[in-house]
Amino acid sequence: MNKVILMGRLTRDPELRQTQSGVPVCSFTLAVDRRFKNQQGEYPTDFIPIVAWRQQAEFAGRWFQQGMRVAVVGSMQVRTWDDSDGNRRYVTEVIADELHFADGKRDGGGGGAYAQQGGYQQGGGYGQQSGGYQQGGGYGQQSGGYTQRSGGGYDAPEPATAASTPNKTDEQEPGREYSYFEAPDDDTSLPFDI
């Protein structure tokens, strides 16, 4: 299995270009904070190269910008090539299958970035922060997730208990940003047509 789920901020505006055969490709770097502090009391940051193709590339090139917080679901790939001096080079990058806005409106999401979990997925559906991602583009089934009924549809989530909640929400770091789902006010604030 090769599945990567990341949330971070763009270090620069995405670079949208086309291959020689006209296929859109977009690349950007995502700054992702680690979950735990280092010995200096800081959250170390990893800078991860992201590559999106076709509709995902066009979406990122049009809507994403430097500083914006986004979520990426994809797979890791190691690419090799020989540079002009004949040296073998390697780069590990994430190939984006899904791109999501992760800033709420009040977080300075920039022009209609509308939700912590919302965004564009080629397969449809919306992610859920504590629920995790399911392959079918639906809702997760971990703590706080929705459970699928046998006749179709979803039941309301059961209340989380201390035993079923792995995240320590009552121990949030002061001064650290936390953002929660905020639905759009109307259809005009969505970055795509309905």
Helix (H) or strand (E) holding 59: helix 54-63
Comparing 149 with 80, which gets the higher pLDDT?
Answer: 80
Record the pTM.
Answer: 0.56
**Tokens 């299958």 map to which residue?**
97
CB neighbour list of residue 77: distance below 8 Å, 6 or more residues apart: 51, 92, 93, 94, 95
Phi, psi of 110 (to 5 degrees): 75, 95
Report how far apart the first and last C-alpha atoms of the chain are (Å, whole number). Answer: 33
**Tokens 């929660």 map to which residue?**
180
Comparing 118 with 75, which gets the higher pLDDT?
Answer: 75
Amino acid 177: pLDDT: 53
Torsion of CA 184, 189, 193, 194, to 10 degrees: 30
Task: Indicate the domain borders of the chain.
Answer: 4-189
Architecture of domain 4-189: Beta Barrel (2.40)
Q: Are 51 and 78 in contact (CB under 8 A)?
A: no
In tens, the pLDDT along 111-132 reads: 433 333 334 444 433 333 333 3
Amino acid 194: pLDDT: 54
User: Which stretch of 21-25, 44-48, 188-192 has the lowest confidence by average pLDDT?
Assistant: 188-192
What integer is the mean pLDDT of 13-29?
A: 97
Question: At 94, which amino acid appears?
Answer: V
pLDDT, the chain, mean: 72
In tens, the pLDDT along 136-188 reads: 333 333 333 344 444 444 444 444 444 433 444 444 455 555 444 455 555 55
Going by C-alpha positions, the residue among 38, 115, 3 that lies closest to residue 69 is 115
The radius of gyration computed from the CA coordinates of the chain, to the nearest angstrom, equals: 18
